[in-house]
Amino acid sequence: MLLRTHRCASYRCLPHLRLVKVTKIAAIIPMNLLGYIAGIQNHESKHGSFTVINQLDYLNSQCHLEGCRADIVVHSTRFMLCRHQLCHASVFFKELLSKQEANKDYYVSVSSMPDPSPSTQFRWFVESSIPCPALKDITDETIETCMRLSRRFQAKGLELRCSKYLIENRCNRQPIVILCWLNWTLKHNFDIQTQMALLPSVSRLSLNSLERHRHMITESIYSNIVTAKLRSTYDKTVQVFLDIHKLDHFSVDVEICPRYPCRKQIGCDRCYHEGCEIGSKSIQDMQAFFKCPHKLIPLNDSTNDCYCQIPALTQYLGQHGRLRHDENDDDYLVPSEHLRGARNVKDNPND
């Protein structure tokens, strides 16, 4: 493997070295000089072939007068931004611009994801974190990019906006969408309050859906959701039993039973003298239902809960306290492109 060195003032002491093996360079050239050479080559390999094709100007007239311009180059696009606004929005750029010279192009690596393009991703970041002239609203299309870049560039203001968007819209989206949001909060290390706010909506998913997508969340979160759904089902079963019990007490004030002469009690043995009408059916052929204020919901493992069940699920999820992230489980870190299109409890011997 050959390494082409660059001519520089500090390298004139080694004019006889042009093309040499890396192992020989390590033995002859001091480590600091070797790092300098490698840095230049790495810089050229990353940015030397980039040609600025597009240029986006986010400067106002005052910025042009004061000369507070910062040029950020992402892929093939140059972003002309206000240095003060950018430093205020991002700790990353505050440190970067304080160490570099003015009137220079700053090459920034945004993401390895090809879709959307890195330039588009950075444009969403800029327009959502810097008023130019006003902040743009976060949408379902831009939320994941804004979450990821708010953490990458240490933009606390944008991170808070993302959390607010997730919390305000958690009841207005399908449960599978909220599951993707929860996965992103885990992957990008968002605060625990945001994660807890999304759990009740995710708990609406059917048991089958949760099993298929359990790799998107931690085992502790999965167990908390399943436990909350089980406790909620207990309450629904009690309500179904009470409704059936009321039917047994039903009577009608008529001269004769609608089906057969009896003591004016519907459902007596004489009315059903041929036996129980459902006695011949198997348990698999029967389906229990729970009637909420909005619709009749089958009690099975393939039906999502109604949105009106979110308060009950929230109550049961709250009994677990804070989420636990002590397990070394990173399986929920699902790549974003795939998303587009054990609890530590001691066994009770008396249970």
CATH number at 137 reads: 3.30.710.10
For the record, the structure tokens of 154 come out as 């240490």
- Among 111, 139, 168, the domain-final residue is 168
- Among 115, 149, 168, the domain-final residue is 168
Question: Could you tell me if 334 and 216 lie in one domain?
Answer: yes
The SS3 of residue 164 is helix
Q: Taking a C-beta distance cutoff of 8 angstroms, is the pair 185, 221 a contact?
A: no
Question: Could you tell me if 62 and 35 lie in one domain?
Answer: no
Q: Taking a C-beta distance cutoff of 8 angstroms, is the pair 6, 29 a contact?
A: no
- What is the pLDDT, as a whole number, of residue 185? 93
Q: Taking a C-beta distance cutoff of 8 angstroms, is the pair 219, 304 a contact?
A: no
- What is the pLDDT, as a whole number, of residue 21? 37
Q: Is residue 180 part of a domain?
A: no
For the record, the structure tokens of 125 come out as 């970041």
Question: Could you tell me if 136 and 230 lie in one domain?
Answer: no
**Which domain, by its residues, includes 88?**
55-168
H/E stretch holding 57: strand 54-57
For helices 192-202 and 219-248, what crossing angle results, to 10°?
40
Q: How many domains does the chain have?
A: 3
Rounded to whole angstroms, the Cα distance separating 15 from 284 reads: 86
For helices 192-202 and 310-318, what crossing angle results, to 10°?
130
Alpha-carbon distances of 168 from 141, 164, 172, 187, 199, rounded to whole Å: 16, 6, 8, 20, 14
Question: Could you tell me if 150 and 212 lie in one domain?
Answer: no
Question: Could you tell me if 82 and 119 lie in one domain?
Answer: yes
Type of residue found at 337:
E
For the record, the structure tokens of 106 come out as 């700053």
Q: Model confidence over 240-293: pLDDT tens digits?
A: 777 776 666 555 555 555 554 444 445 555 554 555 555 556 666 667 777 788
Rounded to whole angstroms, the Cα distance separating 202 from 189 reads: 18
Q: Taking a C-beta distance cutoff of 8 angstroms, is the pair 56, 77 a contact?
A: yes
Question: Could you tell me if 118 and 216 lie in one domain?
Answer: no
pTM score of the predicted model: 0.63
- What is the pLDDT, as a whole number, of residue 12? 40
Alpha-carbon distances of 46 from 41, 76, 119, 296, rounded to whole Å: 9, 12, 15, 59
DSSP β-bridge partners for residue 21: 2
Q: Which residues contact 18 (CB under 8 A, 6 or more apart)?
A: 4, 5
Q: Half-sphere exposure of 209 toward its Cβ, with a 13 Å CA cutoff?
A: 18
Q: Is residue 39 part of a domain?
A: yes
pLDDT (tens place) for every residue of the chain, 351 residues total: 444 444 444 434 433 333 333 333 333 334 443 343 333 334 444 444 467 788 888 888 788 777 788 888 888 888 888 888 888 999 998 888 887 666 678 888 888 888 888 899 999 999 999 887 788 899 999 999 999 999 999 999 999 999 999 999 988 889 999 999 999 999 998 989 999 999 989 998 888 899 999 899 899 899 988 988 888 887 778 777 777 766 665 555 555 555 544 444 455 555 545 555 555 566 666 677 777 888 787 777 777 888 787 887 787 776 544 444 444 444 444 445 554 443 333 344 344
